[in-house]
Structures are given as structure tokens and as C-alpha cells.
Structure 1
């Protein structure tokens, strides 16, 4: 009995020449012209599948007539999928997007393509398009299918950020780079809980209990870390401790959090996204405006997907003026640096607050800063928790209640203030779990 073939590694299914895909796609497209656009999606997909099967049969006959060896069943199946994806998906990118073991996709042009897998490996994979022009067309297809506001991708608007239908985050550039470049981040855990992060080794049971109590006690949280550290994942998991009766408004530059999609956990959620200017350079709505609009929608909590500019001022004002329990993420290399970055954003905003005023605003608004890092074994982990204290106007005093240990995982450090600990305990914090973390 023949042993079954081993499962292919991520991105290593049968390789199909992009030129062949482009040639057969043109034939199918010619046959579909004038008919497919008028059909419902399900019927259109069936018609496309039929045309693809006929074109593959014709290609096999051509090969035999020319004395060439026809495609193997595996190669023909891969070609059929590549053709189908070119009409109903994102072409050569679609198979990588669908692979659950692929976490990141980097296309530096059509033929210099790399993936990062969930186990931390980075490998080069075959081309995803026949040319750079075809890669740009794939990005434009993604923008057209996103179902969002106008998302241009051309020389006049060379950067594009959007959320794909499956929840993946795409960013692409052209014109400002030698070749078009596409980065796609796949959220392995789209609907995630703090318990999931404990099982993955990213949190201890004690840290899970502390974060849950912080959210229930309506503490304002800033979640920070480097690129790909898991900020959005932790924010999404922490939001699970928010009661279903609470009204939430999320603000992002491109939809990614997806809290509004979890009807059972967050039924009263509105998701806002900034809008790029149109061809005439007008109609753009920035993050700062979105935060201000969100506050007019009477939310219990405001969640900002990523703070990196003028939106910091209305966000901090919301945190200090009644919208307790709000959260945001930002890029920072430590929990202490996050406070400095917030001050910089506040001082650069149109309000032009002074350094002292910025510190007062931060001290009154932020309760805790959570910093994420990568442990020495490659696991994304919570590395530091910093409690922000009342400010004296010249600096933002804080205590690092959890600090990075030898492997960068958080270990207990300074104690939480007694009055804050009482609030967390009243919100359900189990002190026995903290004892397990050797506080």
C-alpha cells in the first residue's frame, strides 16, 4: 500500500506559472464578458467554474496534440484554483491568505514573495502575479471588494490600507517604491479571549485576572508594543470583559478590531473608520475627527485602534471626562516610552498644548499601560504593566507593577496602590491567582 503524500508546507502547493494563469484567464474573461456581470454571485461563480473546466480540457488537448506531457492532476487542480481565485479571490495571493499556517505575507514585487508562518519561520514562496502591473491590479480588486468607502491605489494615492473580507489587514504602496509592495497580516485569532492567550503562553492566569478586573473596573488602558507584537489581539481579548449592555464606539484608520461583528458579546457597537480624500483632495475625515464624532454618539467606552497623531487629544479627553474604561493601542518600545509618545502626540496636535498641559492630561486620563514583547522562545507575551499615578504637572509619575523578567515575560514588581487594588478586588480580582504569580 502506497503511503499518502505528505501535506505541503505553507505556500508550497503545486507551483503554477503566472503566465499560464494569465493566458487562460484571458480566455475565460473573454467568454464571461457581457454575461457574468448580470448574474447573481452564486450563478456567476458556477459559470466561471464551467468555463475554467472547459479551458483546462482544451489546454490538455493542445498539449497532447503538440506532443507535450499534459499537466498532472495535482498541477491541473492548482491551475484551476489559481484561475478561480483570479475571478472570485485575490489571484495568487488568495491561497496564501486562506492558509491557516500563514500569518504574514510580504510581496516585494510580483515575484519576490515571502511568508511568515505561525511558528515564526520566514520563507520565500513562488510569484503571486505574472507582472508588477498584475500585482497592482490585484490590490485594486481588493479595494473594490472591500465594501468600504472609496479606496484608491494609483500614483495620486500611492498608499492603501484596508481590511480584507476575511479580516486580514492589507497595506500596499506603489510609485514611492521601486516596485509595488504588498504586506498582508492575517489575524490568526480573530475572535480571541484572555483565556486563549493564557493557553498560548502569552499571559499567566494572574495577568488574565488583573486585565479582566481592570476592564470591569473601567480603568483606561493603553496597550503598546512593536509591530506585530499582538496589540490588537490583546485589545480584542480584553474587550471580552466588557459587558454586553455597554455601548462601544471603535475608531480605526482601517477596520480591523471587528468588535461590532461579535453580536453576542458586543451587540451595541458602532465601528468608525477614517476616510481618505477623493481625487480632488477633499472629503477626507481623519482619526481626530472620527474620535470627536464617536464621542457624540454617547458611548460608554471609546476604543481607538491605534493612536499615532492628533486623535490623542480627544481620546485622552474622553478618558478623563466620563468615558472611563476606554482603550487604545500605540507603538512604543516600553511601557514608559508609551507615556512619552502620548505627550509628543498631544503637543503636536492642533490644540498645541504645552509639555506640562500634556502631562496633566495624560496623568488624568490613563490608568495603566500594558506593553507587549516577544519572549526569548519567540512567543508574543505581555512584558510590562505600568500604573500611572497622579501627575504634578512636570512629569507623569508611574509604577511598573509588572516588569520584564529574564525571558521578557512579565513578573511582579512594585505593588499596585492600595486604593486601586481595592477597586480591582471589588471588580472580581481573585487575589489567590496573583499569589500564583509570586507577587
Structure 2
């Protein structure tokens, strides 16, 4: 009588989960027992060898017990799951491997993904229990975090940059742990690619934005959640000449400009959480002050959302022209109110009457991003900052949202601004309607 072959249900990862867990424990124990200090690539190769050996041993055991080994396709699924658990992001890895996914949301056992085309899909749970999800988050934080990243009831949130550049944020304040992962699939996209390949702007706007960078204009990039602000900032930074010294400042490392060969002189500063005793924390405002002592040509702030706006604005108005930052807003005009509100919440407690002149003298342009009506992330509005009057920042909306939310020409640029941009290579004839 022949031995039974693997059934169709063996394809399902949930059916093989006990075997996956057992093999993971075996391989992890073998790695720990070796005591060898391996580089990332060496560790990946060693894990692959140990997983193959463990599966060979499992096949021999099944044959000795009178059962057929796993079918090759099923064995491949098991091997990948074990490797992912030890060298990748565990059960999250299949989602991270999908290039069409831009966001992953996990609410306990409920998983949603958002894709590049704007569609949202519910996916199977990545873990069987909330405790397993917490363990997965802790393991990822331990392997991917650059410094101490606790995740427990005492510190119920963690934010880390994953190896592929994605940002993971998790919290356990609700009944079940919640995880949000923002994918950065366009880590090295330029403004040209944003325009020509992804439809974020037309040729005229492409030329204008490139000239802003080359003319060393200070730019605030704003927009709502998931409008691509970080990606767009990174694309604008691509236009910065490679001989310039850049200092990037972030809460969690997302820009990765220091890893880009186009920016050989770049230092990435990252805020640090306090340790268990509540000491050693370094916030963004302090990092901006540090950056000014490092002789930067430009300072790039990943996201302004607090008191760091005061040193940032001082930085922009004290010789570090060409600096960039992002901020959450629902319109280009709201960027000014948001900056002044953050300044009022800073250690300096600046009133609007003091902050408006600071913004008016530091910021040259505000670029607002939005989703178009046909589901594309686009440049929707551009404002040229003129000056301040009392507690208000005065600006011209040189591009306003059109019917499909794409930017269309509105008020013309000031003559002196246009001259500066033209000297940087901008051709005004590319803009129809001025």
C-alpha cells in the first residue's frame, strides 16, 4: 500500500504553521549556538543553509514514519515562511514583497492594504493571536530599529524604519495592537520620473520646481495624509547638486538621502526616544540646532509638526537657503497657520505676530499635494510667499487646483522671483496662462 501524498490543504500557510514554527525554533537555536558574528548577507546565507538542512531532516523523518515528504511547492512555501521569520519581516513579508501595496493597516486580526491605484483590499490575518502580533512587532523593532525601541504597556507605541525604507508605527492603546506601515516604493524617484512616469505634474511645473531647487528657494511641501509628501521631498532633493552638504532631520529615518549616491555628503540625524529611566531623549528641535553647527548647505526636515519649526525657520532665514520640509495641511494656505501654531506651541511660545514675519522672511514657496479626481497623487497648488502683515503671511497662489485638482496657472510670479528662477534655467514660456 502506497504512502499518502500531501493533500491540497498543505498549500495553506495556516495548515503548515506548526511546522513553520518548529523549524524556525530549530534554526534560531542553531544560529544562537554557533555564536558567530555574521553580517546581514552572511546571516541570510546561513539561514538559507540551515532551513534547507532542517527540511531535509523533516523529509527523512516523514519517510521513516511511512509518510510522504511535502510536495516541492509546499516545501518551498514553508522554507520561505521560515526564512522570512528569521531574516525578513515574518508574516508581513509577503505583503512587503508586493510592489503594488503602498500602505498596510493591521487592527488586531483585521488586515487592510491600500494599493498604488487607490484601491483598498481586506487581507487574511498575519498572526493567529494578538500576543503573536505583539511578539512580531517587538522582533521587527529589535532587528530593524537603530536604537532602543520598546513596545509594551509602559511605552505603548513604536516607530521604526524597515530595511526596504517603509515606516512601521504600532500602538497597543486600543483593545488589540494596531500597526500602520507606509511603503516607500519610490525611494529614488526624481522630479522627472514624478512628472513623466507617474503624472504628478506637467512639463512646465517640472521645470519650475527644478528651478526652485537650483535657485536655492526654501520650500514647504504640504498635503494631507498619504499624498506622497515624503516621496516628493525626496524627488526635489534629487535636483540638489551632488557637491552640496545636506543634513536631514527626522523622527524616523524615511528619506534615506544619506544612502543615495547622488548625495555623497549627507548626514542623517534621527530623533531619539528617552530610555527606560526617561533620559537621553533628543527631539527634532534640538537636532535642527545641532544641524546648524555642522556647516550644512541645506537642512531638510522630514516632517514639521512641533516646536522644531522655530529653529527651522531661523535656519532658512540665516543663510541655509534651499532648505526643504514637509507639513500636514488640507490646503496650501493652511501651511502658514500650521507653522505659526507650531511656533506658538514651541519652547519660545511665539505669538502669531512674531511668527508671521519669521515665516514671511524664511519661506519662499509652498507646494501642496493632493489626490486628483482620477486617483493620482499630483501637485495641486503652489504659493509664492510675499511678506507678512501683522499676524498674517501674504502670498500669491501662482498655481491653483483645477477641476481635477491638478495645478493650473493662476497669479504670475513677481518679476524678481521670475528673474531668479530664469537664471537657474527656468523657461517661463513652458507655463501656458502666465
* Fold in common (TM above 0.5): yes
1:117 — aligned with what? 115
Matched, 1:95 2:94: yes
User: By how many angstroms is 1:227 displaced?
Assistant: 1.1
| Residues 145 and 161 in structure 2, CA contact (< 8 A), matched pair in contact too | no
User: By how many angstroms is 1:354 displaced?
Assistant: 1.6
User: By how many angstroms is 1:359 displaced?
Assistant: 0.8
Which one of the candidate residues 251, 254, 260 is aligned to 1:253? 251
2:8 — aligned with what? none
1:38 and 1:384 map into 2 onto residues whose CA distance is 52
| Residues 383 and 395 in structure 2, CA contact (< 8 A), matched pair in contact too | yes
1:266 and 1:381 map into 2 onto residues whose CA distance is 25
CA, structure 1 residues 65+378, in 2 after alignment: closer, same or farther (shift >3 Å)? Answer: farther
* Long gaps (5+) in structure 2: 1-10
| Residues 258 and 268 in structure 2, CA contact (< 8 A), matched pair in contact too | yes
1:59 and 1:130 map into 2 onto residues whose CA distance is 24
2:341 — aligned with what? 344
**1:29-428 to 2 correspondence within 5 Å?**
29-35=28-34, 44-57=43-56, 59=58, 71-109=70-108, 111-146=109-144, 148-174=146-172, 176-199=173-196, 200-263=198-261, 265-428=262-425
Q: Which moved more, 1:122-131 or 1:66-75?
A: 66-75
CA, structure 1 residues 56+412, in 2 after alignment: closer, same or farther (shift >3 Å)? Answer: same
CA RMSD of aligned residues (A): 2.1
1:247 and 1:44 map into 2 onto residues whose CA distance is 34
- So what's the TM-score if we normalise by structure 1? 0.90
SS of aligned partner of 2:300: strand
SS of aligned partner of 1:21: helix
Per-residue Cα deviation, 1:35-83 (whole angstroms, up to 9, x for no partner) = 2655665555444334433443555567678898864433321111001
Per-residue Cα deviation, 1:312-350 (whole angstroms, up to 9, x for no partner) = 000001111111111100000000111110010011111
User: By how many angstroms is 1:106 displaced?
Assistant: 1.5
* Long gaps (5+) in structure 1: 1-13
Per-residue Cα deviation, 1:194-220 (whole angstroms, up to 9, x for no partner) = 110112111111111111111111111
2:6 — aligned with what? none
- So what's the TM-score if we normalise by structure 2? 0.91
Q: Which moved more, 1:132-141 or 1:180-189?
A: 132-141
| Residues 82 and 92 in structure 1, CA contact (< 8 A), matched pair in contact too | yes
| Residues 15 and 126 in structure 1, CA contact (< 8 A), matched pair in contact too | no
Matched, 1:24 2:23: yes
| Residues 19 and 130 in structure 1, CA contact (< 8 A), matched pair in contact too | no
1:290 and 1:16 map into 2 onto residues whose CA distance is 45
